[in-house]
Amino acid sequence: AQSVTQLGSHVSVSEGALVLLRCNYSSSVPPYLFWYVQYPNQGLQLLLKYTTGATLVKGINGFEAEFKKSETSFHLTKPSAHMSDAAEYFCAVSVTGANSKLTFGKGITLSVRP
Amino acid sequence: NAGVMQNPRHLVRRRGQEARLRCSPMKGHSHVYWYRQLPEEGLKFMVYLQKENIIDESGMPKERFSAEFPKEGPSILRIQQVVRGDSAAYFCASSPQGTGYGEQYFGPGTRLTVT
């Protein structure tokens, strides 16, 4: 079975500062990895995904993530935070053959200080 | 192309009543997933359906919960005899393909409150 660990429940950064949200996964087979963002009272929006190929993936809104197999990590970064980035961020994993169901981490709330 | 539609967006039920949550997938998508989000937790998989078939219901509680995705019409998640612990946000997602890397498109959710 797959699992995702997102350490900490809340991250606070200043506007313009680096955003780093950590995600570690566990999977016995090659994983597919995703980051989703959820704004209050809304559904989830896909930020980016890793399937195969290039390990550094770029997503929407200036976010990117790097798949590191040796560290079983898929951390999300953005060089410069914007106030509009304040939201909850979920890391998720799926594997082929598992009906593509997503296994989510508990999520991290990102706050951006002016 | 309209996104995934869910209704109602908010639903209030008294303990013991039934709750019916509807999900219309994106056009051209024939795979539907239901997830539940409890307060302070991430989303938990409940069930995966294709048209007229339940493919994986390993995340569904054994009692009171059922799901369907008929040939015509939306997918329905049904909760009978609701209890306070059923209060949560229920999200539907759709995909044009079931296996593979699993990119899914989420609806806005139905927030169920049991009083």
Return per-residue pLDDT of chain A as tens, 114 residues. Answer: 889 999 888 999 999 999 999 999 998 888 899 999 999 878 899 999 998 888 999 999 999 999 999 999 999 999 999 999 999 999 999 877 656 789 999 999 999 999
Dig out the tokens for B42 from the structure. Answer: 């991430």
Contacts of A103 in chain B (CB under 8 A): 45
Q: How far apart are CA B34 and CA B56, in angstroms?
A: 11
Which residues in chain B are contacts of A101 at CB distance < 8 A?
33, 45, 48, 56, 59, 102
User: What is the total residue count of chain A?
Assistant: 114
Mutation pick from B49, B104, B110 vs chain A, by most beta carbons of A within 10 Å, is: B104
Buried b (16+ CB within 10 A) or exposed e, A66-98: ebeeeeebbbbebeebeeebbbbbbbbbbbeeb
- Chain A contact set for B56 (CB, 8 A): 99, 101
Q: Which of B6, B59, B101 sits opposite A51 (nearest CB)?
A: B101
Residue whose C-alpha is closest to residue B67's, from B7, B19, B4: B19
Question: Where residue B40 falls among pLDDT bands split at 50, 70, 90?
Answer: confident
